[in-house]
Structure 1
Amino acid sequence: MGIRVEQAGQGDRELVVSVLEEAFHHDPVSSWVFPDEAHRRAVHGRFLGVFADITLAEGRIDVAEDGAAVALWLPVPAGAPEGEDPTPALMRQTADPDNGRCELVGRLTGEVHPHDRAHSYLLMIGVSPRRQGEGIGAELIRTELERCDRDGVPAYLEASNARSRALYERLGYHFLGRAVELPDGPSMWPMWREPQVS
């Protein structure tokens, strides 16, 4: 397919959040965190903005040339992090302080995140619904996976629905065997990809 990929800067934050909100508005995990759709519409962007801010500060956000898709990548060093990760609490505090699910989803995914080897973490990828099914998301991911393969770096993510899980499997990821089970909600699938040598 071949799309041009640009790196987002601080000035692209609103575009990134907008694409993520549109892409994840009906996602099973977002729908579990914010069950009421009107409330989700009001606070979801603030929730996703936390991910955008962290990635702009610590990682890299790739944007498809026409702004239809974004991928948030974080470099994760080897070794268990020291102390408690403040991100889940920040997600709750920023988006919806009375909603414990904002924090719980981050804590549960954090518990299964592997730390034995340095890796590239696909925190989120979103494709505008009007452009889904065109292969843009796969192309955006391949851009980073080519770097991972070249540098010998594994990659990791959590799939939030069966359709995305199937895409990630086609790109070389495999399920690690222990799903994140959200209480009375959907599953998330931690997935790992070893660097591939051509």
Structure 2
Amino acid sequence: MTSTTRPRIEARQATTAEADTVVAACLEAFADEAVFTWVLPDPEQRRLRADEFFDVPLRAAIDAGNVLVAVTDDGHVAGASVWLDSNGGDAEPSQTQPPAEDDPVANRLVLVAEATAAAHPRTSHLFLSSMAALPAYRGHGVGTAMLTVALHRADRQARPVYLEASTPRSRDLYARFGFRDHGPAIHLPYDGPTLQPMYRPATRD
């Protein structure tokens, strides 16, 4: 893709048959994501352990029909997002495991889980767990395409949607789609990113 070309982007559900392609795209799209880079601050360790974080969970999410991909008109995966059903009672802090003193990565994962658990709505909702675009397609409507499709589905089902914005830019994008701040910001320790819980009430399509 050249810098002067703006591809047409469409979003759809990822299929099991394209799991390898989607996982590979996600490894690139999430490589510089704010929380992931905080959990694994060393770039070399991040590269070596990326499969550990993404491969199995992503394939399971694809099989369950929980992954949307943004695809260009020439068939390239430009981004992906993971949407999970939550009954509102599956994110209690008491369900997280104690930090592993000898594993700083596991320790930080537990800190993320504990920090975000209290902010989750306690009623049934759709949870946007993660969303990212590949670097070459950022600023080309990738997030807009996936949000449009996912929120249209949510509206048909009259379901509220919850997420945690990890950058000011993503927060602005979500606000344009009707999300509003849901409680105070979450500040991860050790110079970690600030996450802003956001909520979009159920509406009828």
Q: Does TM, normalized by the shorter one, top 0.5?
A: yes
> In the alignment, does 2:12 pair up with 1:6?
yes
Identity %: 32
Kept in 2, the 8 Å contact 1:59–1:75? The answer is no
Query: Equivalent of 1:21, from 22, 27, 30?
Result: 27
Question: 1:188 is matched with which residue: 168, 179, 195?
Answer: 195
Q: CA deviation at 1:132?
A: 0.7
C-alpha root-mean-square deviation of aligned residues, in Å? 2.9
- The one-letter amino acid of 2:112's match is V
Deviates more, 1:127-136 or 1:14-23: 14-23
In structure 2, the partner of 1:45 is 51
Secondary structure of 2:47's aligned partner: helix
Long gaps (5+) in structure 1: none
1:35 is paired with a residue whose SS is coil
Structure 1 segments, 4+ long, off by >4 Å, are: 82-86
- Aligned residue for 1:43, secondary structure, equals helix
Shift of 1:197: 4.5
Are 1:77 and 2:84 counterparts? no
Does the alignment pair 1:171 with 2:177? yes
Q: TM-score, normalised by structure 2?
A: 0.79
Larger Rg: 2
Matching of residue 146 in structure 1 with residue 149 in structure 2? no
Greater helix fraction, Structure 1 or Structure 2: 1
From 103, 118, 128, the counterpart of 1:111 = 118
d(CA) in 2 for partners of 1:161 and 1:48?
21
C-alpha contact (below 8 Å) 1:156/1:192 kept by paired residues: yes
In structure 1, give the amino acid aligned to 2:53: F
Distance in structure 2 (CA, Å) of the matches to 1:63 and 1:57 = 13
TM normalised by structure 1 equals 0.82
1:157 equivalenced with 2:163 (yes/no): yes
Deviation at 1:165, TM superposition (A): 0.8
Give, in whole Å, the separation in 1 of the partners of 2:63 and 2:95: 16
Unaligned runs of 5+ in 2: 1-6
AA of the residue aligned to 2:87: P
- Count of residue pairs the alignment pairs up: 191
Seen in structure 2, the aligned counterparts of structure 1 residues 57 and 106 have a Cα distance that, compared at 3 Å, is: farther
Match of 1:129 in 2: 135
